[in-house]
Structure 1
Protein backbone atom coordinates (compact mmCIF):
# COMPACT_ATOMS: atom_id res chain seq x y z
CA UNK A 1 0.00 0.00 0.00
CA UNK A 2 1.62 3.30 -1.03
CA UNK A 3 2.03 6.17 1.37
CA UNK A 4 -0.58 8.90 1.12
CA UNK A 5 0.70 12.10 -0.48
CA UNK A 6 -1.32 14.11 2.04
CA UNK A 7 0.82 12.93 4.93
CA UNK A 8 3.96 14.89 5.74
CA UNK A 9 7.36 13.21 5.60
CA UNK A 10 8.70 11.86 8.87
CA UNK A 11 11.69 14.13 9.53
CA UNK A 12 13.34 14.27 12.95
CA UNK A 13 13.04 17.94 13.97
CA UNK A 14 16.02 17.87 16.36
CA UNK A 15 18.30 16.50 13.67
CA UNK A 16 16.99 19.01 11.14
CA UNK A 17 17.88 21.92 13.45
CA UNK A 18 21.36 20.50 14.03
CA UNK A 19 21.95 20.15 10.28
CA UNK A 20 20.75 23.71 9.65
CA UNK A 21 23.05 25.06 12.37
CA UNK A 22 26.06 23.19 10.94
CA UNK A 23 25.29 24.55 7.46
CA UNK A 24 25.09 28.11 8.79
CA UNK A 25 28.49 27.68 10.43
CA UNK A 26 29.84 26.17 7.20
CA UNK A 27 31.30 23.16 8.98
CA UNK A 28 31.16 19.44 8.28
CA UNK A 29 30.14 17.72 11.49
CA UNK A 30 29.51 14.15 12.57
CA UNK A 31 26.03 13.31 13.86
CA UNK A 32 24.94 10.16 15.68
CA UNK A 33 21.55 8.99 14.43
CA UNK A 34 19.33 6.46 16.18
CA UNK A 35 16.09 7.34 14.37
CA UNK A 36 16.35 5.00 11.37
CA UNK A 37 12.75 5.60 10.29
CA UNK A 38 13.05 9.31 9.61
CA UNK A 39 13.67 10.74 6.14
CA UNK A 40 17.02 12.27 5.16
CA UNK A 41 16.52 16.03 4.64
CA UNK A 42 18.36 18.05 1.97
CA UNK A 43 20.09 20.04 4.76
CA UNK A 44 22.13 16.92 5.61
CA UNK A 45 24.06 16.88 2.32
CA UNK A 46 27.80 16.96 2.95
CA UNK A 47 27.54 16.03 6.62
CA UNK A 48 28.77 12.78 8.16
CA UNK A 49 26.20 10.48 9.76
CA UNK A 50 26.86 7.68 12.22
CA UNK A 51 23.75 5.53 11.78
CA UNK A 52 22.94 3.04 14.55
CA UNK A 53 21.92 -0.46 13.47
CA UNK A 54 21.03 -1.77 16.92
CA UNK A 55 24.56 -2.73 17.88
CA UNK A 56 27.11 -0.46 16.23
CA UNK A 57 27.30 2.77 14.26
CA UNK A 58 27.99 2.87 10.51
CA UNK A 59 29.73 5.95 9.16
CA UNK A 60 28.17 7.41 6.01
CA UNK A 61 28.80 10.65 4.11
CA UNK A 62 25.41 12.08 3.10
CA UNK A 63 25.14 12.61 -0.66
CA UNK A 64 22.49 14.02 -3.01
CA UNK A 65 21.26 10.52 -3.92
CA UNK A 66 20.41 9.75 -0.28
CA UNK A 67 17.95 12.65 0.15
CA UNK A 68 14.34 11.53 0.52
CA UNK A 69 15.24 8.02 1.63
CA UNK A 70 15.30 6.74 5.19
CA UNK A 71 18.39 6.57 7.39
CA UNK A 72 17.89 2.84 7.98
CA UNK A 73 18.55 2.01 4.33
CA UNK A 74 22.20 2.92 4.77
CA UNK A 75 22.94 0.89 7.89
CA UNK A 76 22.85 -2.90 7.45
CA UNK A 77 21.31 -4.82 10.35
CA UNK A 78 22.31 -8.30 9.22
CA UNK A 79 25.79 -9.56 8.65
CA UNK A 80 26.62 -12.06 5.98
CA UNK A 81 28.00 -15.26 7.42
CA UNK A 82 29.34 -18.55 6.30
CA UNK A 83 28.22 -21.88 7.67
CA UNK A 84 31.52 -23.60 7.87
CA UNK A 85 34.64 -23.83 5.90
CA UNK A 86 35.70 -27.11 4.35
CA UNK A 87 38.77 -28.64 5.91
CA UNK A 88 38.39 -27.15 9.37
CA UNK A 89 37.55 -30.50 11.01
Structure 2
Protein backbone atom coordinates (compact mmCIF):
# COMPACT_ATOMS: atom_id res chain seq x y z
CA UNK A 1 0.00 0.00 0.00
CA UNK A 2 1.17 3.51 -0.73
CA UNK A 3 2.33 5.91 1.94
CA UNK A 4 -0.41 8.00 3.49
CA UNK A 5 1.71 11.16 3.28
CA UNK A 6 1.91 11.09 -0.52
CA UNK A 7 -0.73 12.86 -2.58
CA UNK A 8 -2.63 10.56 -4.94
CA UNK A 9 -2.90 11.80 -8.52
CA UNK A 10 -5.98 11.10 -10.61
CA UNK A 11 -6.64 12.70 -13.97
CA UNK A 12 -9.57 15.14 -13.91
CA UNK A 13 -10.94 13.91 -17.25
CA UNK A 14 -10.92 10.32 -15.98
CA UNK A 15 -12.95 11.37 -12.93
CA UNK A 16 -15.43 13.12 -15.21
CA UNK A 17 -15.76 9.94 -17.31
CA UNK A 18 -16.38 7.82 -14.21
CA UNK A 19 -19.06 10.22 -12.98
CA UNK A 20 -20.77 10.25 -16.38
CA UNK A 21 -20.60 6.42 -16.45
CA UNK A 22 -22.45 6.25 -13.13
CA UNK A 23 -25.04 8.73 -14.40
CA UNK A 24 -25.60 6.57 -17.51
CA UNK A 25 -24.28 8.93 -20.18
CA UNK A 26 -21.45 6.68 -21.43
CA UNK A 27 -20.93 2.91 -21.55
CA UNK A 28 -17.16 2.51 -21.93
CA UNK A 29 -14.37 4.32 -20.07
CA UNK A 30 -11.19 4.71 -22.15
CA UNK A 31 -8.14 6.50 -20.83
CA UNK A 32 -4.58 7.26 -21.81
CA UNK A 33 -3.71 8.28 -18.25
CA UNK A 34 -1.60 5.36 -17.01
CA UNK A 35 -0.24 7.45 -14.13
CA UNK A 36 -3.62 7.94 -12.45
CA UNK A 37 -4.10 6.27 -9.09
CA UNK A 38 -6.98 3.90 -8.50
CA UNK A 39 -9.43 5.32 -5.98
CA UNK A 40 -12.34 3.55 -4.22
CA UNK A 41 -14.86 5.07 -6.66
CA UNK A 42 -13.38 2.92 -9.46
CA UNK A 43 -14.03 -0.45 -7.76
CA UNK A 44 -16.18 -2.72 -9.90
CA UNK A 45 -15.59 -0.81 -13.14
CA UNK A 46 -13.82 -1.97 -16.28
CA UNK A 47 -11.52 0.79 -17.52
CA UNK A 48 -9.80 0.48 -20.88
CA UNK A 49 -6.18 1.63 -20.37
CA UNK A 50 -3.91 2.45 -23.31
CA UNK A 51 -0.70 0.39 -23.46
CA UNK A 52 0.94 2.27 -26.34
CA UNK A 53 -0.77 0.30 -29.09
CA UNK A 54 -4.36 -0.42 -28.03
CA UNK A 55 -6.68 -0.11 -25.05
CA UNK A 56 -6.66 -3.13 -22.74
CA UNK A 57 -9.56 -3.80 -20.33
CA UNK A 58 -8.69 -3.61 -16.64
CA UNK A 59 -11.32 -4.76 -14.14
CA UNK A 60 -10.80 -2.79 -10.92
CA UNK A 61 -10.84 -4.80 -7.67
CA UNK A 62 -10.63 -3.64 -4.09
CA UNK A 63 -7.01 -4.78 -3.72
CA UNK A 64 -5.92 -2.41 -6.52
CA UNK A 65 -6.72 0.80 -4.59
CA UNK A 66 -3.64 3.01 -4.34
CA UNK A 67 -1.87 1.49 -7.34
CA UNK A 68 -1.49 3.11 -10.76
CA UNK A 69 -3.62 2.12 -13.77
CA UNK A 70 -0.51 1.49 -15.86
CA UNK A 71 0.59 -1.35 -13.57
CA UNK A 72 -2.22 -3.53 -14.89
CA UNK A 73 -1.96 -2.68 -18.59
CA UNK A 74 1.23 -4.34 -19.80
CA UNK A 75 3.22 -2.67 -22.56
CA UNK A 76 5.37 -5.63 -23.58
CA UNK A 77 4.34 -9.09 -24.73
CA UNK A 78 6.21 -12.13 -23.46
CA UNK A 79 6.69 -14.55 -26.34
CA UNK A 80 8.50 -17.24 -24.38
CA UNK A 81 12.11 -18.15 -23.83
CA UNK A 82 14.40 -18.90 -26.80
CA UNK A 83 14.03 -22.47 -28.02
CA UNK A 84 17.54 -22.94 -29.50
CA UNK A 85 20.01 -23.23 -26.65
CA UNK A 86 19.41 -24.96 -23.36
CA UNK A 87 21.76 -24.82 -20.43
CA UNK A 88 23.50 -28.18 -19.93
CA UNK A 89 25.12 -28.67 -16.58
CA UNK A 90 28.36 -30.64 -16.49
CA UNK A 91 28.27 -32.95 -13.53
CA UNK A 92 31.98 -33.49 -12.80
CA UNK A 93 31.80 -34.31 -9.12
CA UNK A 94 34.15 -36.88 -7.70
CA UNK A 95 32.49 -40.15 -6.99
TM range, normalised to the smaller chain?
0.7 to 0.9
Aligned mates of 2:79, 2:49 — CA distance in 1: 22
> Who is 1:44 aligned against?
42
TM (norm. structure 2) is 0.69
The CA RMSD measured in Å over matched residues stands at: 2.6
Larger radius of gyration: 2
TM (norm. structure 1) is 0.73
Regions of 4+ moved over 6 Å: none
Q: Do the aligned residues in 2 keep the contact of 1:39 with 1:70 (CA within 8 Å)?
A: yes
* CA deviation string 1:19-69 (max 9, x = no partner): 12323x278942111111110121111211111111122112111111211
* Aligned length, in residue pairs: 83
Unpaired runs of at least 5, structure 1: none
